[in-house]
A and B are shown apart, each in its own frame.
Chain A
Amino acid sequence: MAQFVDRRLNPRDKSLGNRQRFLRRIRSEVKRAVDKAVAERSIADVGKGGSVSIPSDGIDEPQFHLSRDSGEREFVLPGNKEFVAGDSIDKPKGKGGGGGAGRDPGAAGRGEDPFSFALTEAEFLDILFEDLELPDLVKTSLKDAKAKEFRRAGYSSDGTTPNLAVLRTMRVSMGRRLALRRPSASEVEKLEQELEALRANSTVAMAERQRIVHLAREIERLKRRQRAIPFLDPIDVRYSRFSPVLVPRAKAVMFCLMDVSASMGEREKELAKRFFILLHLFLKRKYERVEIVFIRHTDEAAEVDEQEFFYGRETGGTVVSSALKAMMAVREARYPTGDWNVYCAQASDGDNSGSDSRECVALLSQALLPLVQYYAYIEIADEDAPLDRSGKELWRAYAGLKEVAPGFAMARVAHRADIYPVFRKLFAKQPSKGAAS
């Protein structure tokens, strides 16, 4: 007899373990492919995963094969329409033409064709952000900031009414009633019905009269017992128990500052945008509770939403300090330092007036840097400018900050493909505290 089984209900992802093993094995190749994809793709597609191609060297499964170009072989083919025995045919160029019936087209690892397959979004981002971590987050937040949170922890026999666990209470009550043999309502009702029927009967025999008396007594006894054993006793009552648990708090707020003034051309804006996109993806991926504040500035700064930040249009002069001030205001209003780790990333083309740059440095070193965990500044350089040339106004002004504030980092990018390495460098896992100092 045949069995029919519906396997569609089985858990999915049976191959997941093997897939992870495979990905681990080709890690470095995939990483190269992902880096390339990040450099080439349009902003909206970066995080979407998708197809990657890797060279097939590392994933060959070698075996002994028979050589195709030595010795002699005989084979049979179908579809002869022109030849008779004794004919000779020129060998076709290339791969031995037709090759005989023994050929196995599935033989793995032949030739240098790249192996291409699709990465899921999660895999893509994991590889993209491997080894990256917001600096010091663990140190200052996970260790110190713990929040009390109440979690379900079974049942207890005392508590407040809103926490009454009705089902559990009824269960306990039923157990007690069964154990004490409390007569059920239906039991009593059955006897009462019988009594009713007997009484309704006009001709009553002796035996039945006795039965009536017996029934009446029995009903009385049961009812007494029902009263003595309550349906719901206070000892039955159960409450859901909640116990406080200390959970690490990894709340972080990330300020994204960008210059969108006239001196920032399309290219500069696009490069800056890519940096923030990466940052954005990184934060969303790595930390569950991260808030992001977007502040763009020309000669005056404004907090905007994500869409406006990346795609809105506005032009004007350049006053960088306006953005720093706006950021300070937002932080004070919404993110008191006790609860939040503050991170900041600023992108600019480096054009600024000398006096404002000095104001920026003063603001940063005195007010901002002590409050933030990390401050990254990227300067968008000219495409043809060599990166080692000393930077522009803001770069030169900021240069001194590196020494005084350990949480300050700066980098210059000129090309799309530079963004990602710089991003990695800025947010690379920092050496442990001891090694750093």
Chain B
Amino acid sequence: MTTASLEATHALHPGGKLLFDGAEWDFQTVRRVYDAVDAIARDELGLDIFPNQIEIISAEQMLDAYSSVGMPLMYAHWSYGKRFARDEALYRKGYTALAYEIVINSNPCISYCMEENTMAMQTLVIAHAAFGHNHFFKNNYLFQQWTDPAGILDYLDFAKRYVATCEERYGVEAVERTLDAAHALMGQGVFRYPRAPKINLAEYERRRRERIERDEQDYRDLWRTVPGGKPARANDAVDEEARERKRALRLPEENLLYFLEKNSPKLRNWQRELLRIVRNVAQYFYPQRQTKLMNEGCATFVHYTIVNRLYDKGLISEGALLEILHSHANVIAQFDYNDQRFSGFNPYALGFAMVQDIRRICEAPTAEDREWFPAIAGREDWPAVLRDVWANYRDESFIRQFLSPRLIRRFRMFALADKASDPKVHVEAIHDAEGYRRVRSKLADSYDVAASEPDIQVVEADALGDRPLVLRHTMRNGVTLADLGKDATLRHIRWLWGYDVRVEEKAG
């Protein structure tokens, strides 16, 4: 190297403070960046995180992770192979780019970073996933109530081994049949309404063993069907008994998988266990679906704030900052409803805008903000306000509480009403003084996961007699079940229950 170019290199490092220079990354640099990000995240934003485990993976491994719903390990099922085949074809043809990262709600919190990322992108990804998402997972009440991050990987490991053992013992086909049916009911396999019990997956496994031992010691012919030579009884006594049995089933029951697991007359023990596994996985992901907007908003805000602070402190170069901001801008693009690329609200865009807006309301409130958000307007400790929001809300309540008129104007939101019988769609409210509350409330409604999914409950079942199972779909606003997939799903339920199943639709 000549002296001239040495000097040029020095010029790039004013004071030699830059953490990295150029696109290449290595583990030492990543660690240095991590420490710098860590300092800002803890000292300035006050984030509280699980210990981090950052894993560098290749594109192929990223595809693997995609196909197993982002988890590092998963039980075997053909549908994951299907997902892999599809994603791979799309990726190879260049239709889709892969994510920069995947982060797993576990303790330690695992983030996958792609090896192809530049050092600037790794910085963004670490701030986004290892601090943003991580903080959200650890502190949001839904995750705290419903998931067991310390146990999930062990549980999945158990699930994987259990499914493999079943395949060996009972055949791949039989296991597949059961899992297919269970997967069809994944949407109806979560508890929505009761207060969550404290979940501990290791405890689950211990209880399972106990259950098996108990069953072996204490065999009861619970599902006996042949009436035998019992003397005939009076009709009302029989009715009373049937009512008693129904009470014992604790109907209605919203969690179909749970109900079938406990009460199906035909399933064998290993099949019940498979149902329980699918149900636990569904329950584990349920909070994620309810907090997608907030989670991404939190992570995007955290990476945006942190990389800007890194730049302010002279730790990253202008070039790196611009590269990061470029991909940041791509991520938070929101297309208008009539744009070809529109596919609903972009959770990154709306989530980030709302979190930024809350900070603005704290730091520089307008008169309107003071009227709408008296509790937080002008609060100086905006990081504390944000931490409180991230901890105690989900998408639906977050929007209902914090979507400001300013954002409604910025996104030019409008609320529409659509009746199937009406050839026209009606504009109900727009971004004006009369419309703000209405728009906000409608938008919040649309983020209520429970409302956007069919509400189907078991209302009647009898383990004796001809054993019909009756499901009730409680319709909201007259929306019926779609024909597509309905019969196939019912066939799956019929197979799990073993007897006739019907679904009735009732106006809610």
Contacts and interface: CB of A to CB of B under 8 A. Distances in A.
Contacts of A74: 415-418, 428, 442, 445-446
Interface in A58-72: 59-72
Contacts of B145: none
Contact of B413 (A15, A18, A62, A76): A76
Interface string B80-94: 111011101100100
Contacts of A15: 63-64, 67-68, 80-81, 84
Interface string A89-109: 111000000111111010001
Most chain B CB within a 10 A radius of its CB, from A61, A100, A105: A61
The 3 closest A-B pairs by CB, nearest first: A79-B336, A22-B81, A71-B478
Most A CB atoms within 10 A — which of B82, B432, B480? Answer: B82
A338 interface: no
Contacts of A64: 187-188, 453-454, 456, 473, 481-482, 485-486, 489
A15 B187 CA distance: 25
A22 B424 contact: no
A12 B57 CA distance: 11
7 contacts: A8-B115, A22-B78, A22-B82, A59-B79, A76-B413, A98-B337, A102-B344
B54 A62 contact: no
B435 A14 contact: no
B67 A91 contact: no
A72 B88 contact: no
A67 B480 contact: yes
A25 B27 CA distance: 42
A86 B427 CA distance: 5
Contacts of B454: 64-66
Contacts, number: 271
Contact of B57 (A7, A19, A89): A7
A190 interface: no
Contacts of A122: none
Contacts of B60: 12
Contacts of A23: 81
A152 interface: no
B184 A101 contact: no
A91 B425 contact: yes
A4 to B, nearest CB: 5
Contacts of A109: 485
Contact of A78 (B92, B187, B412, B492): B412
B428 A80 contact: no
Contacts of A89: 416, 424-427
Interface stretch (A111-119, A226-234, A383-391): A111-119
A47 B88 CA distance: 20
A62 B485 contact: yes
Given A63-B185, A64-B453, A75-B446, 13 more contacts: A4-B34, A6-B56, A14-B61, A18-B76, A59-B82, A61-B184, A63-B485, A64-B456, A66-B481, A70-B478, A72-B420, A79-B339, A83-B430
Contact of A101 (B54, B85, B345, B434): B345
Contacts of A21: 76-78, 81, 172, 176
A88 to B, nearest CB: 4
B186 interface: yes
Contact of B186 (A4, A63, A84, A101): A63
Contacts of A435: none
B56 A78 contact: no
Contacts of A101: 344-345, 443, 446-447
B78 A84 contact: no
A87 B427 contact: yes
B120 to A, nearest CB: 18
A156 to B, nearest CB: 39
B477 A73 contact: yes
A31 to B, nearest CB: 16
Interface of B: 27, 30-31, 34, 38, 51-58, 60-61, 63-64, 67-68, 76-82, 84-86, 88-89, 92, 108, 112, 115, 130, 172, 176, 180, 183-188, 334-339, 342-345, 411-420, 423-432, 434-435, 439, 442-443, 445-447, 452-454, 456, 473, 475-486, 488-489, 492
Most buried by A among B344, B443, B445: B344
A77 B429 CA distance: 11
Interface of A: 1-8, 10, 12, 14-15, 17-25, 51, 59-81, 83-91, 98-103, 105, 109-110, 115-118
A70 B427 contact: no
Contacts of A84: 427, 430, 432
B54 A19 contact: no
B52 A3 contact: yes
Given A25-B78, A77-B337, A7 B55 contact: yes
A21 B57 CA distance: 25
Contacts of B76: 17-18, 21
Contact of A80 (B412, B456, B484): B412
Contacts of B58: 7-8
B54 A77 contact: no
A8 B415 CA distance: 48
Given A64-B454, A78-B412, A89-B425, A98 B342 contact: yes
Nearest to A59: B82
Given A3-B52, A19-B85, A72-B477, A66 B482 contact: yes
A76 B377 CA distance: 26
Contacts of A100: 344, 418, 446
Nearest to A118: B89
A5 B61 CA distance: 14
Contacts of B344: 99-103
A83 B56 contact: no
Contacts of B492: 62
A15 B68 CA distance: 8
Nearest to A51: B89
Contacts of B78: 18, 21-22, 24-25, 59
Contacts of A67: 479-483
A102 B82 CA distance: 25
Contact of A75 (B67, B185, B415): B415
A14 B338 CA distance: 41
B269 to A, nearest CB: 23
Contacts of B456: 64
A69 B420 contact: yes
B291 to A, nearest CB: 15
A315 B183 CA distance: 64
A118 B92 contact: yes
A109 B489 CA distance: 13
Contacts of A87: 426-427
Contacts of A61: 79, 180, 183-184
A59 B80 CA distance: 11
A103 B187 contact: no
Contacts of B411: 78-79
B191 to A, nearest CB: 17
Contacts of B442: 74-76
Contacts of B339: 79
Nearest to B503: A64
Most B-side CB within 10 Å, residue of A20, A76, A86: A76
A330 B129 CA distance: 69
A7 B104 CA distance: 15
A79 B53 CA distance: 40
Given A3-B53, A60-B485, A63-B184, A105 B343 contact: yes
A42 to B, nearest CB: 21
A63 B489 contact: yes
A72 B418 contact: yes
A71 B508 CA distance: 12
Nearest to A18: B81
A79 B337 contact: yes
B484 A110 contact: yes
B180 to A, nearest CB: 8
A90 B423 contact: yes
B84 A18 contact: yes
A29 to B, nearest CB: 12
A1 B51 CA distance: 6
